[in-house]
């Protein structure tokens, strides 16, 4: 009995879930902030900055505002983080193939990753703060417009491989990188990820100059820390997934580092380069172009597959 539980616990708390994914997330957040700072000719944060932020937030007093459902207020960050941690089990983190797999785990992973945005939206709607409410509305709007293209873009490689299982898709794409055959899908996936994570220029749901901190305006201390960690983990998982499916799979830690960091740099460049889009602009952009392009890509792939057979 103990023999079976211990490895499961270890995989959840140490590797690839839990500790490893936290530390990786922090490292990537640091890289993100540091690179952005360098692009803006600043020095940027020190290497331990994300860790200090999280520790400080965890040690801070947490107040549950009036007018909110206290249970929901406390539970949502936990659910969001738990979703992200669970998703870590199905993703080839650090290039050490996914720990668990079953047919269709891609879909489950994607669902688990959407959980964070969903929780963010509900958290905003739960607090009767005006900024939070607007933030929640925007978060949901963005959820609907960015999850779909992201999902479709990731299903492209799955379709080629003829499987919904992450490691099988990875294996089928190893010989020929999917990015070469489905460049549009790749671009949509990267931009979809930025939108999903609410990073600039798609950060309308938490646009500081309009609605302070969006859904999270009323959160502080532990809740904020958990949401924050959920976000950085989702960043890591998102780029891992894209790298695994589009960039020829991840088979060693070195492989993982090179490909994910390259993707991160692309994302940071986009962050630094553009002004924030209004929510109607970012949504319009995706429903009008993103989704359409992916569908075109799909049609192409189907056609090509038909010819090949």
Give the residues lining the site for another protein (CB under 8 A). 33, 37, 39-46, 48-49, 51-63, 65-67, 128-131, 133-134, 200-201, 203-204, 207-213, 216-221, 224, 272-281
By beta-carbon proximity to another protein, the closer residue of 224 and 245 is 224
| Coil/strand/helix, residue 222 | helix
Question: Would you say 149 or 214 has its CB closer to another protein?
Answer: 214
Residue number, 185 or 200, with CB nearest to another protein: 200
Q: How far is the CB of 198 from another protein (least distance, A)?
A: 12
| Dist CA 27 CA 48 (whole Å) | 8
Minimum separation from the CB atom of position 273 to another protein (A): 7
Q: CB of residue 66 vs another protein: minimum separation in angstroms?
A: 8
Residue 142 · residue 284 · CB < 8 Å: no
| Residues contacting residue 144 through CB under 8 Å, at least 6 positions apart | none
* Dihedral (CA of 103, 231, 64, 218) sign: negative
As given in the structure block, the two tokens for residue 265 are 């740099």
Report the nearest approach of another protein to the CB of residue 57 (Å): 8
Q: How far is the CB of 67 from another protein (least distance, A)?
A: 6
State the minimum distance, in angstroms, from the CB of residue 43 to another protein.
Answer: 5
* DSSP annotation of 252: S
Q: Measuring CA to CA, how many Å separate 81 from each of 24, 205, 289? A: 15, 19, 31
User: Of 100 and 274, which CB lies nearer to another protein in the complex structure?
Assistant: 274
Q: Judged by CB, which is closer to another protein: 20, or 282?
A: 282
With CA atoms as reference, report the closest residue to 242 among 166, 161, 162, 165: 166
Residue 286 is given by DSSP the state I
Specify the residue, 92 or 200, whose C-beta has the smaller distance to another protein.
Answer: 200
3 state DSSP class of 288: helix
């Amino acid at each position: 009995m103990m023999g079976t539980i211990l490895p499961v616990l270890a995989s959840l708390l140490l590797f690839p879930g839990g500790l490893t994914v936290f530390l990786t997330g922090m490292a990537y957040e640091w890289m993100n902030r540091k690179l952005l700072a360098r692009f803006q000719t600043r020095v940027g944060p020190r290497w331990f900055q994300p860790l200090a932020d999280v520790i400080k937030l965890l040690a801070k007093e947490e107040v549950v505002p009036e007018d909110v459902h206290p249970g929901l207020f406390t539970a949502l960050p936990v659910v969001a983080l738990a979703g992200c941690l669970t998703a870590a089990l199905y993703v080839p983190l650090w290039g050490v193939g996914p720990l668990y797999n079953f047919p269709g785990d891609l879909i489950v992973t994607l669902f688990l990753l959407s959980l964070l945005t969903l929780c963010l939206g509900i958290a905003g709607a739960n607090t009767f703060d005006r900024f939070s409410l607007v933030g929640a509305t925007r978060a949901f709007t963005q959820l609907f417009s960015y999850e779909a293209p992201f999902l479709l873009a990731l299903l492209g490689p799955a379709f080629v491989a003829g499987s919904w299982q992450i490691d099988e898709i990875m294996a089928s794409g190893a010989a020929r990188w999917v990015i070469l055959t489905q460049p549009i899908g790749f671009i949509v996936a990267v931009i979809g990820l930025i939108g999903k994570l609410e990073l600039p220029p798609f950060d309308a749901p938490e646009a500081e100059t309009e609605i302070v901190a969006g859904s999270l305006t009323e959160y502080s201390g532990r809740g904020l820390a958990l949401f924050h960690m959920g976000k950085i983990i989702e960043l890591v998982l998102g780029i891992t997934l894209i790298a695994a499916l589009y960039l020829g799979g991840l088979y060693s830690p070195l492989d993982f580092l090179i490909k994910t960091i390259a993707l991160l740099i692309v994302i940071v460049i986009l962050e630094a380069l553009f002004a924030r889009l209004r929510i109607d602009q970012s949504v319009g952009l995706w429903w009008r172009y993103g989704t359409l392009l992916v569908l075109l890509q799909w049609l192409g792939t189907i056609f090509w597959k038909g010819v090949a057979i």
